[in-house]
Each structure stands twice: as structure tokens, then as C-alpha cells.
Amino acid sequence: MSYEQIVLTFRTLADKNRIRILLLLAHHAELSASEIADSLHLSRPNASFHLKMLCAAGLVSRRRSGTWIFHSLRNAEQGGWLSSLATAIREGARDSGVKQLREYRDFGQQNAQRLVESLFRLATSFTSLRRLLIINHLRDSPAKAIQDLLNAVPMSDQALSRHLTKLTTRGYLRSDSRSEEEKLRIPATFESRIQARVLSVVFQALRSGSSSDSAGPRSVDEEQTKTMARG
């Protein structure tokens, strides 16, 4: 799995209608495009377009039965970091207290709205190759100075500032106050489990490097995720 493929997957995820589709599928064994369109008040061509994107990304599976095509959220048995991402979405719904997402009005629940917004913000953390490279550079380091990041991921000062701001506002970077020189690090703990889970999935994808997702990179350590997330 190349870095570019990781970025493309998160660009696919960074759409609120597609996030709602994934959450809907997390509460059903499988659904047809028509059922998804009706449940989310989408036109059928629009629902089919989003499903095509999610299938291409590997987050949704298709099963044909006669003239019908049914869709399901990728399951753990399929393996790889994409299965870990699908599991993170399922567990995010569980942890948020969302008990049922079966039709459009269910997404009006305050918890459901917060979950969709949270997943969207987290996904947009990794829609840039440069932000992914910054995270990769920091993941095995206690802290890095700004100049170190510029040397590792060449770009203008303005571009680096823009990317660091996005990662910081999404909770994935923090200033290291223990150093006189300004340094940045990945926090040891996060405000929510879904935040920690998504980063663990990114680390898993980065570890897989250029190998195929089907080769089965190491799974996310659930105990590590619990440690990273507070509460």
C-alpha cells in the first residue's frame, strides 16, 4: 500500500454522505443501492456514485444476487488496514452511543451528527501526502523541531505552517513545552477513542509500506488504542 493510496482512501472517506453510508452499513448486514438512497434521501444515481467510490477504495464489498447488488461494510476477516479502518468506524458508532442508524432522521441525533463531523475532520487530516509524510516522520520520534520537519518534508514555510495547523487543530500534533526550542510531537493520549483508532490505522497502513493490503499487515493493537485515548 503506497502513501498515495493511503491519501486517496482518506480523500474518499472525507465526504459526509459517504461517511453516512458507511455508518448505515455498520448497522446492517447488507443493503442495496436503492435502500441506501431511500434511507439517506439521496438520488439513486448519487448513492450509486458514492458506493462506487467506496467499493473502489476497498471499504465496501459487493454481492450480486440475481439482478440485485447488495453492499456491506468491509469485515475484519478480509484483513489489512482497510478492515481496521472499517472496524474503527463500527466501534466509533458504538462508543458514541448511537444505537440505531437505519434511516435519514436517525442521523439527526446529536450523537450521530457529532460522529459524522468527527469522522470527517479526522479523515481530512490525511488527505494530503505532505501531512501523511509529516506524521510518518514523527511517529517514531519523541519530538521534532520545525527545521527538522522542513528538511524531512521539503516545502515552503507557509505550506508547512498550513499543514501543521490542520494536524494540530485535529489533535494529532502538540507543542512540546519541555524544550526551549519549539518542537512538535504526536500526543501520547487523545480526547476520544475514534481519534486514537484512526491514527492507529494510519500507523498500520504506514507500516505496510509498499506491500499489498491483501498481504495482511499487522493489525491495530486494541490495548494500545485504549491507552492512547482518554475516557
**pLDDT tens digits along 71-88:** 999 998 888 999 999 999
The Cα–Cα gap between 111 and 88 comes to: 16
pLDDT at 212: 43
Number of residues that this document lists for the chain: 231
Topology of domain 3-110, per CATH?
Arc Repressor Mutant, subunit A (1.10.10)
Q: Do the Cβ atoms of 98 and 112 come closer than 8 Å?
A: yes
The residue with greater pLDDT, 2 or 165, is 165
C-alpha cell at 215: 498481504
Averaged over 57-81, what is the pLDDT?
Answer: 93
Task: Give the Å distances, CA to CA, from 213 to 23, 67, 136, 194, 223.
Answer: 23, 30, 18, 22, 23
Residue 181: which of 213, 144, 228 has the closest Cα?
144
pLDDT confidence tier of residue 224, bands split at 50, 70 and 90:
very low
**pLDDT tens digits along 127-182:** 999 999 999 999 988 889 999 999 999 999 999 999 999 999 999 999 876 666 78
pLDDT at 216: 37
The Cα–Cα gap between 77 and 124 comes to: 27
Task: Give the Å distances, CA to CA, from 81 to 6, 57, 96.
Answer: 10, 12, 22
**pLDDT of 221 higher than 60:** no
